[in-house]
Structure 1
Amino acid sequence: MSDEKMTRHQIDLTDAEHEVLDRVRRVQGLASVEDTVVWLAKTRMRRGTEHITGRRGPRLATSGGKAR
């Protein structure tokens, strides 16, 4: 993801966690595990907002993501 305002953090993953993220990456057609972590965080925030407000927010746009 090319958002220059995004803060970078190092996250240590176990082999099992990395494998799960890599599977999600392949299913969603994302370029990297890093992109997958960002995609998952944004998806969770959107769903949480939908749950709280009862309204559906804007959908995530991913470059190179899987068309639905």
Structure 2
Amino acid sequence: MFEFRSPRDRALLCGPGPSRRDFLQVGSLAAVGLSLPQYARAAAEGKVRPGCEDRSCIMIFNLGGPSHI
């Protein structure tokens, strides 16, 4: 079994690898990439109303509440 004594040693043996920021960027690009064709199709069919204003917003702030529900 390998023992890594420091992050520098691990980087030398395994390479830098992707960071958390890289995963977030790829995930957000995937979400936009999947929804963009659907939005374009809906806009072409006239299902999207341009200039529609949002009138209200409900914001729920749970201080110390569930983390990922």
TM > 0.5: no
Q: Give the TM-score taking structure 1 as reference length.
A: 0.32
- The TM-score normalised by the length of structure 2 is 0.32
Quick check: which has more Rg, 1 or 2? 2
